Amino acid sequence: MNIIVVMLDSLRLDHVGCYGNDWIETPNLDRFAEMSVVFDDAYVCGLPTIPVRTELFTGECTLPYRPWQPLAKEDIAVAQLLREHSYLSVLIADTYHLFKPDMNFHRGFTTFRWIRGQEADAYRSCVPDRDISDFISEPMRDSHVARMLVQYLQNTTGRESEDDYFCAMVMNEAIAWLDDNATRGQPFFLWIDSFDPHEPWDPPPPFDTKYTDPSYRGKQLIHPKYGPVDWMSDEELKYVRALYAGEVSFVDKCFGRLLDRIESLGLVDNTLIVVLSDHGHPHGDHGIIMKSDANLYQELVRFPLMIHHPAGQGAGTRCDALLQMYDILPTILDIVGLTGGTTMHGRSVWPVVCGECEAIRDHVICGYHASPHRSVRDREWAYIARPTGQQDELYKVADDPTEQRNVITEFPREAARLASYLGRYSLIGKPRTGNLQLDYEVSHTPAQ
């Protein structure tokens, strides 16, 4: 059985049609959903980009153990595992963090191809053909984002057609590889890592104006600065959200080309295909734009996940089992029958799909390794633990799916129960009695 994994970085779950969005066009992802199992409750664990990839490549949880760092020499990466079973493996990526010196994410792959130039990739030095002043507002001047954009504008100088845009280049490279290798008679593992729809949100026409207000005359904020949105006008924030939506539709179009080729090559019936994102993306939903260690709401920590089984198992169904990022590799290995001799933190969710069990987890934990902020979730509640001096938060997700009403004063025992999953280390610097319930009530009492 062949394996194809398509990573679409920073794709928000609620911006895809099959997950309920009704204003952003994603016909190809929706078409793929019809031939797949769609997972509704997949959550990140350790954020952001590199810790997520580490969990995906190793099946190991990173959150309590390691920060953003290269693959360690002790790690056994997915390509190494599959090589032992005669898989031909290739990594095609424009996610430039993967190929920075010594990162080691190409380890074990038979071949790897890097598409250069995304975001701050130190790729080109030239006079850009676009003016940086068109892309930054006054509050952004002298910020690290402004400096990043200068590099990005250099990297993208001279683009002429849609095929010169990064997502198109990644998918076209993957299509070319499939054309050369799909029929050679050896099982293959193809990992496609598209940095889009990650910022900068700079899609080609007509996607750059597909959802924007034609009367907008402000700056082209393709990469806002991180943090509170208080520096942005309502008009600017609406424009940025529309740009992101355009990027999502462009990524969907590029993915559609890949899916068409997979189908035309006859690979649907002998290839496990996984499509996912590494996390979502905040757009001011809770007053913050871009990723933040404190912004652990559903718009960031929940991600889209669709798995196509070549035998059609579960096609067109949905699965609401809780799972985390490091469960995905064990699930892949389970489906292809390569679970023997591997021990990982992650657990295969496929037995839930097959009706062999109802769940693999009763809660999930999300956060950034070095941050004191943590999110603990189950099927009913979302709890966010804050550092000493800040108010914790609790949301009843069935009644409040976008997590806007903090009900921690109404349900303190639910908060205490979820806090207990973090372990005693989470109470460092807070009063301790030896009784977790009392510890919680003393140290997490919301400010009046």
- CA-CA distance, 79 to 193, in Å (whole number)? 14
- Per-residue confidence (pLDDT) for residue 431, from 0 to 100: 40
Q: Give the start-end residues of each E strand in 78-221.
A: 88-93, 111-114, 188-194
pLDDT value at 73 more than 70: yes
Q: What does the block give as tokens for 96?
A: 């430039």
Measure the CA dihedral 6/9/13/14, to 10°: -130
- Eight-class DSSP state of 362: S
- CA-CA distance, 299 to 252, in Å (whole number)? 19
Q: What does the block give as tokens for 429?
A: 């610097």
pLDDT value at 446 more than 90: no
**Cα 79 from chain centre:** 20
- CA-CA distance, 300 to 51, in Å (whole number)? 15
What does residue 202 show for φ and ψ, rounded to 5 degrees?
Answer: -140, 55
* Residues of the chain above pLDDT 70, percent: 94
pLDDT value at 442 more than 80: no
Q: Give the start-end residues of each E strand in 94-219.
A: 111-114, 188-194
Question: Closest Cα to residue 157, out of 121, 132, 130?
Answer: 130
- Per-residue confidence (pLDDT) for residue 436, from 0 to 100: 42
- Fold classification of 2-353 is Alkaline Phosphatase, subunit A (3.40.720)
pLDDT tens figures, 2-32: 999 999 999 999 999 999 999 999 999 999 9
Q: Burial code of 73-111, b = ≥16 C-beta within 10 A, e = fewer?
A: eeebbbbebbbeeebbbbbbbbbbbbbeeebbbbbbbbe
pLDDT band for 183, please (50, 70, 90 cuts): confident
Asked whether the bond before 197 is cis by omega within 30 degrees of 0, the reply is yes
Q: Report which of residues 439 and 154 the model is more confident about.
A: 154
Beta bridge partners of 91: 112, 191
- CA-CA distance, 120 to 152, in Å (whole number)? 6
What does residue 43 show for φ and ψ, rounded to 5 degrees?
Answer: -130, 145
> What is the second-level CATH architecture of the domain 372-443?
2-Layer Sandwich (3.30)
In the chain, what are the domain boundaries? 2-353, 372-443
CB atoms inside a 10 Å sphere around CB 394: 25
- Give the pLDDT mean for 40-63: 97
* Residues counted in the chain: 448
Asked whether the bond before 351 is cis by omega within 30 degrees of 0, the reply is no
- CA-CA distance, 199 to 226, in Å (whole number)? 11
- Eight-class DSSP state of 203: P
CA angle (433 as vertex; 432, 437 as ends), nearest 5: 90
Amino acid at 208: D
- Give the pLDDT mean for 240-248: 98
Query: Who's near 137: CB < 8 A, 6+ residues apart?
Result: 218, 219, 221, 231, 232, 236
- Average predicted confidence (pLDDT) for the chain: 93
Greatest alpha-carbon pair distance for the chain in Å reads: 68
